[in-house]
Amino acid sequence: MEDCFGVAWWDALIIAAAQSQGLPYLLTEDLQHGQRFRDLEVVNPFVVEPPTAS
């Protein structure tokens, strides 16, 4: 993971843990918003607003 995507070792652990759980999104401000790691998408919660209830 670390070599494949060029991320730090600690970030690679977090990404691998999220992928192992089948999560579609990883909420973090430490990685680039919109970046994809296979089926996992990085979302910066300070860049996007949560959806509103209908």
- Rounded to an integer, the average pLDDT of 40-52 is 87
- Rounded to an integer, the average pLDDT of 4-33 is 93
Q: Compute CA distances 25 → 7, 22, 46, whole Å.
A: 17, 9, 14
Please enumerate, as own/partner, the contacts of 33-39 that have beta carbons within 8 Å and a separation of 24 or more. 37/1, 37/5
pLDDT of residue 42: 95
Task: Report the length, in residues, of the chain.
Answer: 54
For the sheet with 40-43, list strands across it: 25-27, 40-43, 36-37
pLDDT of residue 47: 92
DSSP state of 32: -
